[in-house]
Structure 1
Amino acid sequence: MIRLKFLAALFGICFMTSCHTAKTDFNICDYGAKGDSLTDNAKAIQKAINACHEAGGGRVVVPSGGVYMTGPFSVASFVELHVEANAKLIANPDEKVYVKSAFGENKGEGMMWISGENIKEFAISGQGKIDGNSVAFMGKELSDSYELKPVHEYDPRPHLLTLINGKNIRIKDVTICNSAYWAVHLVGCNDVTVDGISLLNNLKVRNGDGIDIDHSRNVRISNCHIESGDDCICLKNRREYAQYGPCENITVTNCVMTSRSCAIKIGSENMDRISHVVFDNCIIKDSNRGIGIQNRDEGVVENIVFSNIFVDCKLYSDVWWGKSEPIYITAYVRKGGDHKDAGWRFPKGMADYNVGVVSNIYFSNIKCESENGVFVGADHSDRIQNLYFDQVDMLICKRTNFEGGIYDKRPCNGDEFIKGKTYGFYLENATNVKIRNSSVRWGDTRPAYFASTYFQKGVEGLQVVNLE
């Protein structure tokens, strides 16, 4: 009897505790939001977020059945932004409402739409959609892309989600689509999980990246479907956010990606260190470039693993960087210029610099079908070191009418393209490169510029074992 009373009391305590800690919902419609697709709901959404935060946390609910147009708003700690099925947040198409730069003093690369700074324990969830309304900010539609409108004092195109100095961030299940600039930008964040989202950008929108991991640590991306005109997943260290340190401890698993530029990319902006990164069990399909390491600044790239990946590439127009290279590893000094953000591309006060070293890069069980082969290139052989290719199998075949036999070095000083032949592995200026248990096959239609299994120039310590 005493034991039964004790268990009953314990159950009561647990029940009361559960009731006390249950999430509290803050429906944006209770704060004045209207799902008519016409009303700007930024103030109502901000009121709901502020109320949720001030109450100690909970869910801000975007209810089903409505299309909620909104200008910029800021998220907060302890808040879960929950977008229900058959609900949509869509960006206000009026450029004038976007006034806060996504890069601080650099106003040449887009503004913020949904943003959060110095936040913790923030989440986005639900089966609904967050729509950046990308085409509203574009110029004329072309066959391969949209024209970009001229940029004067600032570029008004909004980044869809920008989180700066966030801790314990979760983004799950939601559909993020049609970003006019980068879709998810994680700056200086620590402990981030992105799981099961669909990120579907317009494939004609330039700069329409999927997920950009910038000066962030301990980031896990899994089970996602990403389509983007620009890079699907990109790791970098932008100069505007130097205070947040290196980009490290990143895993990407079980994702399917399509890009008109590069599906998986490291660089080109890297003024610090990118290290301890794993990409595993992914599929890249119908892309321009597959896997790219594009180091153009003084930062280093080291200890990166790519494993168990299918890569399907073909040629697209020169609007997009890349020439159907399934794997691309380069270290070239960045090209100078007077473009809109040139003042943020180089170390301040330095007229010249050495590009950082790319080292300890591992490829294992990579299966490729493309119009080009692997490209490795640098200004000097000590800039790329210790590359390992194991079970990298390529089928190189002509699939489009675009000119072939070209490797794309952009952005770089000097010649932007190498024209001539296509090789299974093109290796120029590197140290300690090992290729083993790999193969190169050629398609039934073999143009004259399809050459041989590999070509090397300026490579020190090349080892080739069982390359067919």
Structure 2
Amino acid sequence: MNLANIQDFGAVNDDFTNNSVSIQKTIDYCAALGGGKVVIPAGKPYLSGPFNLKSNIELHLEHGAVLKAYPDESVYTKSAFRQNMGEGTIWIGGENLNQISITGGGTLDGNGIFFMGDELHDSYELKPFETIDPRPHILTLVSCKNVKMHGITVSNAAYWALHFIGCYDVSIANISIYNNIKVRNSDGIDLDHCQNVRISNCHIESGDDCICLKNRREYEELGPCKNIVIANCTLISTSCAIKIGSENMDAISHVTFNNCIITGSCRGIGIQNRDEGTVSDIIFSNIMVECKQFSEVWWGMAEPIYITAYPRASHDHKDAGWRLKPGAKEAGIGKVSNITFANIRCKSENGIFLGAASPDLLDNIRFNDIDLEVSKTTEYQGGYYDCRPCKDDDFVGEQTAGFYMINAQNVYISNTTVNWGTQKPAYYGNALYAENITPLILDNFNGTAAFEHLESIVKKGKTQLEKIAN
């Protein structure tokens, strides 16, 4: 294998030099030889502005090496979302490549705090911008095949850390992502229109979603997001640790999440469908979830499991814009179906929430062996559920229930227990609240209300309740 060290092409780690030209020269040299290993040596951090990977290149960060985003907003000029200039830029990029690897024991440091505004209670302000939001995504790969990312650390993203768009055959293993949990939009891993992806044995801390699957409209020609396996990960998020959506203009299907632990998160597992694309055939299994509330800067109300299908906010809302079809003033909404949760242990301030604009949008949702404890652990007001970004009310509900369900069909709950902790505010309510669920089938559901004067199970509207055992 051809081997090239960035120092041999002029890179210096002197705390002020932008080494992007030297790094690009090193990559180009190896690419011209048919490929090779580009080495970032250990020692003091190397600063760099944007550069592009090429096919058959292994970017290797030695143990103790640090490659850090150059602290100058003016060098970040290429949008991460094509003509959409308002959602960050590309730091390390690549498009239409084959055989890309990022390896080693070193660190990619996004230098995130430099790009943020003032520090608030549990977040940073976002700086205003005129033409383009300069906050760099750490890695953006578009339409790449045979991608490997193994062993490295990623830290301090100013926007998304790792964004894979229309990529095929991706392996992400044994990496750690340490983003500042106060930095908004600092997602861990975003899979966008991707297929045949494996994520395993990773630790992710992020100030937004840790792992997110979606289909963005800016890349609509790149097809569905499917055939994805995520396993053996530990996750911490000030938004949603495991998320599907909200951007979804195609289809997301055939996905498994297994053997994961979620702690200290605002929302645990979320399906947040807000566009015309569908979500189907997803399995979540053997997962431990611990959630708590944060301020309303962050989407989520400490829901351990969250499944929703609501139309996106209208065209004049900040969360619409590029997410709507060209010329459309309102979004369509796709169906969420064939979703299974099995052997999930939850401890949270809020309950499990299912909600949709109409019952046909949530179909065949199955819960088996769910152990839920609801207990208040922060001083934030609760008793409702967060539906952002949506066309209608941002928040719904009148109580915290173990399960709070509005509009769904074919919901199955088996071998499930709802318990309440010692800290129970007055808005804690029923073990299960069901409105327009047709049918709701309970098999060995065990749970009482938070207080003796309340009913354990409340059904409203057109709910059809069937109990198999109790």
User: Same fold judged by TM-score > 0.5?
Assistant: yes
Are the equivalent residues in 1 in contact too, given 2:313–2:319 (CA < 8 A)?
Answer: no
Task: Structure 2: give runs of 5+ residues left out of the alignment.
Answer: 447-470
Counterparts of residues 234-383 of structure 1 (less than 5 Å):
234-338=212-316, 342-383=320-361
- 1:353, 1:65 → 2: CA distance? 50
Are the equivalent residues in 1 in contact too, given 2:315–2:321 (CA < 8 A)?
Answer: no
Partner of 2:437: helix, strand, or coil? strand
- 1:276, 1:267 → 2: CA distance? 15
Are the equivalent residues in 2 in contact too, given 1:363–1:389 (CA < 8 A)?
Answer: yes
Partner of 2:453: none
Is residue 73 of structure 1 aligned with residue 60 of structure 2?
no
Q: Pick from 87, 93, 103: which aligns with 2:71?
A: 93
Residues 71-120 of structure 1: CA deviation (Å, up to 9, x unaligned): 00000100000001111000011000001110111111111000001101
How big is the shift at 1:131?
0.2
Is residue 155 of structure 1 aligned with residue 133 of structure 2?
yes
Is residue 137 of structure 1 aligned with residue 112 of structure 2?
no
- 2:291, 2:232 → 1: CA distance? 19
How big is the shift at 1:151?
2.8
Partner of 2:455: none
Partner of 2:171: 193
- 2:442, 2:71 → 1: CA distance? 55
- 1:386, 1:441 → 2: CA distance? 25
Partner of 2:284: helix, strand, or coil? strand
Residues 140-188 of structure 1: CA deviation (Å, up to 9, x unaligned): 0111100001132111111110000000000000000101000000000
Are the equivalent residues in 2 in contact too, given 1:70–1:92 (CA < 8 A)?
Answer: yes
Are the equivalent residues in 1 in contact too, given 2:314–2:330 (CA < 8 A)?
Answer: no
Partner of 2:456: none
Partner of 2:452: none
Partner of 2:365: 387
Over aligned residue pairs, what C-alpha RMSD do you find? Answer: 1.0
Partner of 1:447: helix, strand, or coil? coil
Residues 166-221 of structure 1: CA deviation (Å, up to 9, x unaligned): 00000000000101000000000000000000011010000110000000000000
State the one-letter code of the partner of 1:204: K
State the one-letter code of the partner of 1:455: Y
- 1:177, 1:267 → 2: CA distance? 24
- 2:384, 2:321 → 1: CA distance? 30
Residues 368-411 of structure 1: CA deviation (Å, up to 9, x unaligned): 00001100000000011000000011011010111011211111
Are the equivalent residues in 2 in contact too, given 1:106–1:341 (CA < 8 A)?
Answer: no
Partner of 2:149: 171
- 2:318, 2:362 → 1: CA distance? 30
Partner of 2:406: 428
Are the equivalent residues in 1 in contact too, given 2:314–2:329 (CA < 8 A)?
Answer: no
Q: Which moved more, 1:189-198 or 1:55-64?
A: 55-64
Partner of 1:416: 394
- 1:235, 1:429 → 2: CA distance? 24
**Which of structures 1 and 2 has the bigger CA Rg?**
1
Partner of 2:376: helix, strand, or coil? coil
Partner of 1:34: helix, strand, or coil? coil
Compare the two structures and name the one with the higher helix fraction.
Answer: 1
Partner of 1:47: helix, strand, or coil? helix
Identity %: 56
Are the equivalent residues in 1 in contact too, given 2:341–2:366 (CA < 8 A)?
Answer: yes
- 1:419, 1:389 → 2: CA distance? 21
- 2:193, 2:82 → 1: CA distance? 15
Partner of 1:449: helix, strand, or coil? coil
How big is the shift at 1:59?
0.5
Partner of 2:230: helix, strand, or coil? strand
Are the equivalent residues in 2 in contact too, given 1:108–1:340 (CA < 8 A)?
Answer: no
Partner of 1:459: 437
Partner of 2:28: helix, strand, or coil? helix
How big is the shift at 1:58?
1.2
Are the equivalent residues in 2 in contact too, given 1:46–1:74 (CA < 8 A)?
Answer: yes
Are the equivalent residues in 2 in contact too, given 1:289–1:326 (CA < 8 A)?
Answer: yes
Task: Structure 1: give runs of 5+ residues left out of the alignment.
Answer: 1-22
Are the equivalent residues in 1 in contact too, given 2:176–2:202 (CA < 8 A)?
Answer: yes
Partner of 2:451: none
State the one-letter code of the partner of 2:186: G
- 1:164, 1:445 → 2: CA distance? 48
Q: How many residues align?
A: 446
How big is the shift at 1:341?
7.1
Partner of 1:46: 24
State the one-letter code of the partner of 2:388: R
How big is the shift at 1:121?
0.3
State the one-letter code of the partner of 2:20: A
Partner of 1:147: helix, strand, or coil? coil
TM-score (norm 1): 0.94
- 1:271, 1:176 → 2: CA distance? 29
- 2:19, 2:330 → 1: CA distance? 48
How big is the shift at 1:337?
4.3
How big is the shift at 1:444?
1.4
Partner of 1:141: helix, strand, or coil? coil
- 2:175, 2:262 → 1: CA distance? 16
Q: Which moved more, 1:450-459 or 1:359-368?
A: 450-459
- 1:268, 1:184 → 2: CA distance? 17
Residues 234-279 of structure 1: CA deviation (Å, up to 9, x unaligned): 0000000001000000110000000000000000000000000000
How big is the shift at 1:448?
1.6
Partner of 1:3: none
How big is the shift at 1:414?
1.8
